[in-house]
A and B are shown apart, each in its own frame.
Chain A
Amino acid sequence: MATVKFDNATRIYPGNDVPSVDKLNIDIEDGEFLVLVGPSGCGKSTSLRMLAGLEEVNGGKIWIGDRDVTNLSPKDRDVAMVFQNYALYPHMSVADNMGFALKIAGTDKAEIRKRVEEAAKILDLEQYLERKPKALSGGQRQRVAMGRAIVRSPQVFLMDEPLSNLDAKLRVQTRTQIASLQRRLGVTTVYVTHDQVEAMTMGDRVAVLKDGLLQQCDTPRRMYDHPNNVFVAGFIGSPAMNLLNVPVTEGGARFGSGLLPISREDLSRAGNEITVGVRPEDVDITSEGDGLPLTVEVVEELGADAYVYGTPASDKAKDPTAPVEKPFVVRTDGRRPPMKGETIYVKPKEGHLHVFNMETGERIGD
């Protein structure tokens, strides 16, 4: 077990001008579960592979514990990886797959058997040890891949979208199992996913990447409540946060007919327009004439809640050149949702407003 440190780690693929991972700085605590998340092509897998030693580091350094592993080969880093497609050796039995690294390292046969059986017990794979991977289900293969990592008892677990080949139900089950297993073993883990729900539910901390740049690295709670910029605000949370560009006026920002109270200090750091963000659950439906008018287009009823998707109708009427905004999402009581076609008026709840600079996308204020 060890800490992991990305110190300005940079990866530029040959023939590319733009770095795929650009000066990544993350400190990962001993025993921490860190999730790297971002849209495809953001550099999250590359970052993981740099840590694994499968990808060259073109700049900066990577540390595991107090060892500089930047130029070490994968086998010398004492890390184990779980691959997206599991990468099990098809010609070996489950037991041989799990014990292969130990066999290569020259570990005693009885010792290998013991450790494989221990891992199989943890993962509920005992009755499958003599099977070949092709005789296993997807979920079982996934567990074998996990077992292969566990058997080595490495300093760091690396997981590259290990759940993406499972069906939705199994994915939810397995993600809980992996998270609890990690807590039990206490091994530092770096986990890559493109699914922000996975990231939020599994990680001690979540690092959001975009275009090779680290956007924010925080606890899931902090990430949700205090996104550092517009990208993180829109990426974390489902349905996504409502983001609107609104004009700045004296004493606040105009929001439909109403005014959003924004501190003078914050306003001074913005231009003529700001981007405000409000999560669907932080919106109140108010009485007519108060706040932003929305034409209800779709109502998603989920039982306890309903999500109302509406467009700011009046904007279009007043100013035909105004761009059509993305639908504005409001979470309401599932028992009394508004009807399709209705016009409702909404206002953000006090203290739940996120304000961003429209040009830079950076967060303004707390």
Chain B
Amino acid sequence: MHTTLVVAAAGSGNMGKIGVMLLGVAVFAAVFMGILLIASLFKGQSGEKVQAAAFVGPTLLFIGIGLIYPAILTIRRAFYSGKFFDLNFGTARTRGKYVGFDNFQAVWTTPGLKQVLFNTAMWVILVPLIATAIGLLYAILIDRAKGEAVAKALIFLPMAISMVGATLIWKFVYYFIGDPGADQVGLINAFLDKIGVAPVDFLGNAPGNTFAMIAIMIWIQAGFAMTVLSAAIKAIPDEILEAANMDGVKGFQMFRYVTLPSIRSSVIVVLTTIAIATLKAFDIVQASSGGKLGDSVLANEFYNRSFVTQQPGLGAAIAIVIFLLVMPIIIFNVIQMRKDA
């Protein structure tokens, strides 16, 4: 978020933005080529070390500036009150003061945030499981079927749409007109109307709206799950499947005893990747209701508290909570990868 602000500030100069950008890229490229050129002058054993440093150094530098430093600032900010990011900004009343763990306490006690935590839990449990299940089922069904490439492209396409775009599409699908007797124009409600079922305000009421938005995320992520799992399934040697055939394995047993264990590590990667993406997803909620209808999630709330309600301390605390929730998933993932290596 800090970087976003910096970019926005630079952009507001409003004079030859593109020129400035091109100049920046040129300087960046020149610096890089210079570093690599100098590094290439070193030969032999020590030369390799210099070259390695020349490649890794800039990355470390930018991770430091772009990730570590803001992270430290965010952690620090979470322990202060105040209305602005800058702790020394504003009047004596609005200036940041050290408040210890008050902001973290507020995450659990602020009215409405319990709902947010519950919603987030729903997202993180349902999206990875259902998206992976659908992706896996789809991958198995279309494996070696006719028109596999087309079938894959169809389900993968949502991945290429931004989450905001996807949400707008689904808003039309879910569209509800409250007027009794009015023509429903939303795809689902028009259909329900046709078959004589009362239309539903999918995105209007909690907790139903959370599940309606979870469906959008699943729609996006199932393609990703399908692609990765399909590749994993194809990597199972034919001989193993034939051996299983000879051993008398058939139908669901094949999936249970051979296919699933063989692609276990891919399934874990997919589950955890989607779980992390889901924890971080703020766009869908933001583009739908902005989280005002009892359907907010942590990522959206972090944005709201930081930039809308002017509680940057609480926002930073929420960001840290998200980070802490992601950590175990990543650690689990790394342990699994080590196991399989």
Contact = CB atoms under 8 A, between A and B. Distances in A.
A239 to B, nearest CB: 34
Nearest to A82: B243
Contacts of B94: none
A54 B247 contact: no
Given A83-B243, A85-B237, A75 B262 contact: no
A87 interface: yes
A356 B264 CA distance: 60
Interface string B243-263: 111111110010001100110
Interface residues of B, number: 18
A101 interface: yes
A75 B237 CA distance: 19
Interface of A: 52-54, 73-75, 79-81, 83-92, 100-101, 104-105, 148
A89 B250 contact: no
Nearest to B243: A87
B249 A81 contact: no
A101 B248 contact: yes
B240 interface: yes
B179 interface: no
A54 B264 contact: no
Contacts, number: 62
Interface string B228-251: 000000000101101111111110
Which DSSP category, helix, strand, loop or mixed, fits chain B's interface?
A: helix
A79 B257 CA distance: 21
Most buried by A among B239, B247, B250, B262: B247
Contact of B245 (A54, A88, A148): A54
Nearest to B242: A54
B247 A101 contact: yes
A358 B131 CA distance: 69
A105 B240 contact: no
A52 B245 CA distance: 10
Contacts of A54: 242, 245-246
A74 B246 contact: yes
A84 B238 CA distance: 12
A266 B126 CA distance: 84
Given A85-B237, A89-B261, A90-B262, A105 B248 contact: yes
Contacts of A86: 239
A89 B240 contact: yes
Contact of B246 (A52, A85, A88): A52
Given A85-B237, A90-B262, A91-B264, A75 B250 contact: yes
A104 B244 CA distance: 10
A89 B245 contact: no
